[in-house]
Structure 1
Amino acid sequence: MLVLTVVVPDGASSGFITVKVAELLSNEYPFSGPGQVLITFGDNGNFNDDVFKLLVNGKVIYDNNQPERKVGPLNISLEDGSHTVQLTGIRADDGIATYYIEFAGDVTSVTGDELTGRDLCPNTHKWYQITVESGAEVTKSPKQALRVPMILQQESAEDTTECPVTTN
């Protein structure tokens, strides 16, 4: 028996493997690698002042101390199946923590909290359960997008705050 080790090129998620020896070609052997998930998130308030942290399956994927209008898309390789995504509020100086999150790639479903809002206060979390199926991106139609359009949410000093505001 002969054992072959095959290195799949970056970016290949599924396909067929064949082996050529001299002029003889083997049968095709199907393979699929991990699914590729794209996550984009950020502050969608009219003030770009909120800070967030992203975790997938309990592992920190992105952590920063500066406000970002758009982080990503972050490309994450995940095996087929169900995975947990957590978006955590780090800072909301004005007490209004506007956020959005989008999922693309090989994600077939998303359940959990709202994909956009104004209540991701410091030390609070939004939880999402995503289902990944390798190669799903190829079969998705544009109508199956797992995101909401980014519309800036209005914020002003007169707004009631969703987060406790601390002053020094």
Structure 2
Amino acid sequence: MRKRFLIIAMVVGLVMLFAAGGIYAGKDVKDEIPMQNNAYEKHTKSIHAFTHKKHATEFAQKNPDIFPNGCGACHHDKENKPLKNLKMGDDVQNCIECHKKPGYVSGKDAKEKGLDEKQEREYHANALHENCQGCHKKYNDKKGLKSKDKGFAPTKSKCKACHTKDND
């Protein structure tokens, strides 16, 4: 009887250990994340596949002088401040959770509507573009890269670098 209890206790203990490990392991992060969202009735530009692993390792980790907040270079709080101490696999919200308005409002339209920067960022596509282009500009400036240089990170003037084909 004692031996049976000991075996059952060991099995239960091992199951608990693995279950607890799974809780704190975070989640797998895909190497490529399609920047597609079901909140949009129709995407007007081709869907860009964001290379998460490449950005995290080749840019953030290798350039801590440019990206001192690591993952926080992209992931931020509601005040647009970087989330610090994030690690690959930590739970983060999808952009649409905070930037709830699908679509993009251009600078001209935003001005006509009287929107400030914070209100523009409520639009999902505005927030994504501001985030990506801001980081890319910072990288290019620090590296002294111009649009024709090898390694130039695409910005506003290079839409087709990310949106490789037009949608019908």
TM-score (ref. length: structure 2): 0.25
Which structure is richer in relative contact order (CA contacts within 8 A, separation 6 or more)? Answer: 1
Q: More helix by proportion, 1 or 2?
A: 2
Q: More strand by proportion, 1 or 2?
A: 1
TM-score (ref. length: structure 1): 0.25
